[in-house]
Amino acid sequence: MKPAPFRYVAADSLASALALKAEHGDDARFLAGGQSLIPAMNFRLAQPAVVVDINPLGELDFVRAAGAGGLRIGALTRNRTLERDALVAQRQPLVREAVPHVAHPQIRNRGTLGGNLAHADPASELPALMLALDARLHAKSARGERWIEAREFFRGVFTTALRADELLAEVELPEPRPRTGTCFMEVARRRGDYAMMGVAAVVALGADDRCTHARLAYCNAGETPVSAATAAQALVGSRIGEGQIHDVAAVAQREIDPLGNVHASKAFQRHLAGVLTRRALQTALDRAMAGR
């Protein structure tokens, strides 16, 4: 298994990388961590004419505070960095909790946030996190730049809102609301495998312990990462109890649209979504109550 021939260019500047992409469009691919692109090239499922290696562009590898509680993360930031970074752990514990589920340490050492999101595998954890955290994604091209809301970004299996000349350059995670609790859980057949089902839960509480904000987002639950907006919205305004968690999980089970596969039937995926939603919501709620 060897890739088909291609032209390799190690980018010496962001401008030159964007110029190459503008010139070659869909015939060119950006190489970030390469942990999805290179296997696809080894299988010859992907045969780009030009590979623009953006690994030399250190300016895309950063984790920065944005305001009092937000985060800005460069697209070239490795998963391993997200796993280890103290600022990520402090400001977005959901990311810290979920990233160790992404493949194996060797893969996380190379794989990047931007590459993962631009690849848009609906079974991957990170796209679901972006929905749960209301992330904004920054696209750059030779023509200019724009911000894309996470809920607008994922369009289908391996398909995003990025245009043929655009690079995903950065992700912004807004400051969590006061008294936010989060939880990520998944079930995989083995550690590091793609999840048969995974859920990211976010719950924020007001001073009276009523829910002010909630998100439920799922991986491997459809052709894109899936947000169960109706289920989550049902929590807002109430003091969340066990019975309501049960009811909301049942709504979420119907809101997702898992594809089913050889490892897990659609029915089993829905079952897992129900169990995981109840557990993750309860944990997120407990964490919000505990002020974590």
Partner 1 sequence: MTAELHAITTTVNGTRHSRRVESRLLLSDFLRHELGLTGTRVGCEHGVCGACTILYDGEPVRSCLMFAAQAHGHELTTVEGLAPERGRLHPLQEAFRTAHGLQCGYCTPGILLTMKAFLAETPSPSEGEVREALSGNLCRCTGYQHIVNAVLLAAARLRGESSA
Query: Which of 17, 103 has the CB closer to partner 1?
Result: 103
Cα separation of 47 and 123, whole Å?
23
- Per CB under 8 A, contacts with partner 1 among 21-40 are 34-35, 38-39
Classified as helix, coil or strand, 288 is helix
- Quick one: which of 13, 42, 90, 159 contacts partner 1 (CB under 8 A)? 42
Nearer to partner 1, 191 or 243 (CB): 191
In the complex with partner 1, which residue's Cβ is closer, 110 or 271? 110
Please state, as a whole number, how many other Cβ atoms lie within 10 Å of the Cβ of residue 110. Answer: 17
CB atoms within 10 A of CB 237: 10
Q: Is 3 in the site for partner 1 (CB under 8 A)?
A: yes
Q: What is the footprint of partner 1 within residues 73-132 (CB under 8 A)?
A: 80, 103-107, 109-110
Decide: helix, strand or coil at residue 98: helix
- Among residues 16, 55, 233, 244, the one that binds partner 1 under rule CB under 8 A: 55
Closest to partner 1 by CB, 102 or 197: 102
CB of 30 to partner 1, least distance (A): 14
Q: How far apart are the first and last CA of the chain?
A: 48
Task: In whole angstroms, give the CA distance from residue 251 to residue 228.
Answer: 8
Closer by beta carbon to partner 1, 119 or else 215? 119
C-alpha 257/C-alpha 156 separation (Å) is 13
Write the binding mask 163 to 192 for partner 1: x where contact by CB under 8 A, - elsewhere: ---------------------------xxx
- Structure tokens belonging to residue 145: 């730049």
Tokens of 271: 């079952």
For residues 126 and 225, what is the distance between their CA atoms, to the nearest angstrom? 9
Using CB under 8 A, list all residues that contact partner 1.
1-8, 10, 34-35, 38-39, 41-43, 51, 53, 55, 80, 103-107, 109-110, 190-192
